[in-house]
Amino acid sequence: MRWHIISRLIICCSMEDDTYLTRSLGFVLADVSRLIRKRLDDKANELGLTRAQWRVLAQLRRREGINQSALAEILEIEPITLVRHIDRLVAKDLVERRPDPADRRAWRLFLKDEVQPILDAMRALSEEVRAEALAGIPAARREHLIDDLLSIKTNLSSLDDSLERRAAKRQPAGSRRAGSKTTKPAGKSAARQVVRQAHGS
């Protein structure tokens, strides 16, 4: 056990000396995202929520009336996982399901009036995490940082779109007519997470 701890300390020290790791865009974004997620976990617990439930509520605040399948895609989770989150939020009397008039098999999701104080608290706590993350950075540089991260997001999203178009062109015409299509993942890049997670998304 002692040697395991020592070996980990050696690895961590060597990483700190390696500028490729300490100043690598991917590593830095991943670390910042991880630390923000941890802070949001702590804040969500203060409200009696999990971070996953926080994310569901935050998305519903923006997209109230969305169906469960579409919300699962946005959150990048399996539909059955979302069902469990929704079940718990329904049990807390924060969310309600309503039948989808366009599809009898689907449910649309709506926030209940009782959730408003929690949404207000979520916003305040998100601003608190944002302030913690950006402490010591002047306001002008904060805006430049967000702009740069959004540019990175745009660059990477464009590459994803280009790859999908090429994949669609390579797909046999018959299979496209049969309804087989390439679906764009509703992914959040690491850059978007850094920008948005402090806002509860």
Number of Cβ within a 10 Å radius of residue 119: 16
Q: According to the model, what pLDDT value does residue 165 have? A: 72
Structural domains in the chain, CATH included, are 25-164+189-199 (1.10.10.10)
Parallel, antiparallel, or unpaired: how do β-strands 95-100 and 103-111 relate?
Answer: antiparallel
At 56, is the pLDDT very low, low, confident or very high (cuts 50, 70, 90)? very high
Summarize the confidence of residues 155-171 as an average pLDDT: 77
Q: Which residues pair with 93 in a beta bridge?
A: none
Rounded CA-CA distance 156/102 in Å is 35
Burial of residue 60 (number of CB atoms within 10 Å: 0-12, 13-18, 19+): buried
Distance CA 186, CA 199 (A): 18
Please, what is the Cα angle at 143 between 132 and 160, to 5 degrees?
Answer: 100
| Contact assessment for residue 120 and residue 126, using Cβ atoms and an 8 Å cutoff | no
Q: Which residue's structure tokens are 């049969």? A: 178
- What is the tens place of the pLDDT at every residue in 88-108? 999 999 999 999 888 888 899
Query: Per-residue pLDDT tens for 112-160?
Result: 999 999 999 999 999 999 999 999 999 999 999 999 999 999 999 888 7
pTM comes to 0.62
Assign 162 to helix, strand or coil. Answer: helix
Residue-wise pLDDT tens digits, 69-93:
999 999 999 999 999 999 999 999 9
Q: Is residue 58 a contact partner of residue 88, using CB atoms and an 8 Å limit? A: no
